[in-house]
Amino acid sequence: MELAKSTWKQVEKYLKSSTKVVIPIGSTEQHGPTGIFCTDYVIPERITIAACERTGTLVTPVISFGMSNHHLAFAGTVSLNPSTLMKVVEDVVGSLYHGGFREFLFVNGHGGNTSTLDAAFSEIREKYPDASLRAISWYKLPAVHKKAEKLFGKREGSHSTPSEISVTMHIFPGFVKKARKYEISTPDKKKVKYLPSAKEFRRLFKDGRMWSDPSLASEKHGKALFDLAVKELVKEIKDLGKE
């Protein structure tokens, strides 16, 4: 059930049987030489909609801007500061809480959001102690992570990964271009500070990739990863509120 396609009466009726709500969140940022800017928000958005259709759970519109300050040296990136994103998350949860929702699941598509979500949840729990708050990243769902390791091994990398590029190929068939093979010649992970400044990130990762080879991406792999993510997310939604 999509909030965007519902009326307030439909939502009020929904709340009589469930107080669960799922909120996809991502970012608008560069994804290497061939990845598209919507990668980190369109994947959690589509996965979440599919999983919520199967469970009959309400899903909100995606939060499409995230904490991407380290990507700002690449033209087109749009970022929220951590304090801004925390406030956005707090206001979204607060609005839904006042409407009657109590179990909140954020489905994340961007690693840079993780720390900010954790910090926001700490503050929200003080305001709404009876609220259940969880955040999961789609690429860390056990079956998805295992499949990515099997398909791509160490060439998966950390950004502009073949996994995420594959899923966007599945979502937009024929739109995302096949990449040439890339060398994994970026600096030793142990020597890279997390997260570097935008200037330093651009210096270290000149084409936007982080230890990844997007040439391994394919629409076929994307479908497999997408289907696994939906299946895993269905389980997470059913368990929401049980912790």
Reply yes or no on whether the pLDDT at 92 is more than 70. Answer: yes
3-state secondary structure 3-51: HHHCCHHHHHHHCCCCCEEEEEECCECCECCCECCCHHHHHHHHHHHHH
- Where in the sequence is the domain holding 207, given as residue range(s)? 3-239
Torsions phi, psi for 13 (to 5 deg): -65, -40
Amino acid at 194: Y
Question: Model's pTM, two decimal places?
Answer: 0.94
Q: For 98-119, how does the pLDDT look when each residue is reduced to its tens digit (9 = 90+)?
A: 999 999 999 999 999 999 999 9
Q: How confident is the model at residue 180 (pLDDT cuts 50, 70, 90)?
A: confident
Residues in contact with 227: Cβ distance below 8 Å, sequence separation at least 6, in sequence order: none
Query: How many angstroms separate the CA atoms of 166 and 217, rounded?
Result: 5
> What angle, rounded to 10 degrees, do the helices at 142-152 and 219-239 form?
160
What CATH number does residue 133 fall under? 3.40.50.10310
Distance of CA 35 to the CA centre of its chain: 15
Question: Looking at residue 182, what is its pLDDT?
Answer: 77
Q: Which two tokens stand for residue 129?
A: 């102690």
Q: For 7-31, how does the pLDDT look when each residue is reduced to its tens digit (9 = 90+)?
A: 999 999 999 999 999 999 999 999 9
DSSP for residue 177: P
- DSSP strand pairing (20-25 vs 103-108): parallel
> Measured on CA atoms in the order 105, 106, 111, 113, is the torsion positive or negative?
negative
Residues above pLDDT 90, as percent of the chain: 88
Residues in contact with 77: Cβ distance below 8 Å, sequence separation at least 6, in sequence order: 28, 29, 30, 37, 68, 71
Domains: count for the chain: 1
DSSP for residue 209: -
Reply yes or no on whether the pLDDT at 185 is more than 90. Answer: no
Q: How confident is the model at residue 216 (pLDDT cuts 50, 70, 90)?
A: very high
Q: Which two tokens stand for residue 173?
A: 């068939």
Query: How many angstroms separate the CA atoms of 35 and 164, rounded?
Result: 9
